[in-house]
Structure 1
């Protein structure tokens, strides 16, 4: 009688919220928000959808947790020895790179202004705005300007990158657009024609940081209204 060979038992990592969020990020990166379903997530984790519901209540909570995990990595860099300007640059670039790597995260940040992922970014920006010495009455305005720039440019850059991947590579795309700009009507588009070569050769991250520097310079140079004296 033949002896049956016993298969070694597979040791699987216990299901946890962290594993679920990590798997959700992987699905979002490859399939987008539409591809994030509990069925697809269960298949990836080799479990049942019911087991996932023990850890997250639904898709909205899962999207928020995935976005928060991506953002957390961007805002936890040690800036204790940095100036406020340097800290703002590091934070902004961290979020920019996070959105570039995970384009769906930019959409989620803009979509849910009251949820913790966006508040985490706003809080870190706001602390550096305070460190710049901006009066209390102007801190919301200054922090909001920085936040809106980071989310707007980061989201647009991610959208452009997705378009390049579908159609052509970035260098070819920029060369084509640059040539189109250079061929515009010289009277109606004098400025655009003049900077067409700069579009072709520009670096997205360098230009992004230059914009951050312009905003921070404006914040520090502006003569803000002073806070009212305490009564």
Structure 2
């Protein structure tokens, strides 16, 4: 009986909350939110659902924990440089995390006031303050950055998912060529702008474009600082 108890203790110790969250992230990456079930998680961890419920109350808590784990790893750390460079580092960390884990985008969009999102907002806001933005404009400035960062990163993830559907072999260049050619075939009188930028779209880099957007917003924010 004592030997069996020791074996049970070792098994319970091995099944930690961290292991469960790591396995949940793997499932989410493979199958998305709909594929994350306690049955699938139990099979992956080779345990029963009851053992998982001991550490995590429900799927909502598990999704929150998985989101926190991925974003904390991607956006925390001591970033050197100016406040603007620190904002870029946080933005790119988030962009890359959502690009690698597309299920993050709807989690952040549907739960904008969860702790991890608030932490990101606070980090961006601190750097907005460090830029010398006047107090009345700090909330709007930080909000504009967060809305762009979350929205653009989420849209990139959605575009990537659509691209995989249209181009299963992952040939992004071929997809961009197809899309830009379609723009060029549109009626110029009705779509003059799309005709003008079709060549740029064909060769653009999503990550570089995202960062350029951050820089545009930063340029507007820094213009708010008192002159002199």
Q: Report if aligned partners of 2:28, 2:103 keep a CA contact under 8 Å in 1.
A: yes
The total of aligned residue pairs comes to: 214
Alignment match, 1:83: 82
Which residue number in structure 2 is paired with residue 205 of structure 1? 207
Asked whether the equivalents of residues 106 and 155 of structure 1 are also in contact (C-alpha less than 8 Å), the reply is yes
CA distance in 2, matches of 1:62, 1:124: 24
- Report the CA distance between 1:222 and its aligned residue: 2.8
Q: Trace 1:1-231 onto structure 2 (pairs within 5 A).
A: 14-79=14-79, 81-168=80-167, 169-222=171-224
Distance in 2 between the 1:92 and 1:105 partners?
Answer: 14
**Contact in 2 for aligned 1:71/1:121 (Cα 8 Å):** no
Contact 1:103–1:159 (8 Å) recurs in 2: yes
Structure with bigger gyration radius = 1
In 1, Cα distance between the equivalents of 2:186 and 2:225?
Answer: 40
Q: C-alpha deviations, 1:156-195, integer Å up to 9, x for none?
A: 1111111111221321111111011112222222221011
Q: How far is the alpha carbon of 1:140 from its aligned partner? A: 1.3
CA RMSD of aligned residues (A): 1.6
Question: Partners of 2:39 and 2:136 in 1: how far apart?
Answer: 49
Structure 2 distance, partners of 1:15, 1:69, is 17
* Distance in structure 2 (CA, Å) of the matches to 1:106 and 1:142: 22
More helix by share: 2
Task: Tell me, yes or no, if the aligned pair for 2:133 and 2:224 is still in contact at 8 Å.
Answer: no
User: Bigger shift: 131-140 or 194-203?
Assistant: 131-140
Deviations 1:192-215 (A, max 9, x none): 101100000000000000000000
**Shift in Å, 1:137:** 2.0
2:162 & 2:172 partners in 1: Cα distance? 9
Equivalent position of 1:228 in the other structure: none
Distance (Å, rounded) in 2 between the aligned partners of 1:180 and 1:37 = 40
Instruction: Work out whether residues 38 and 49 of structure 1, in 8 Å CA contact, stay in contact via their aligned partners in 2.
Output: yes
Structure 2 unmatched runs, 5+: 1-6
**What's the TM-score once normalised by structure 1's chain length?**
0.88
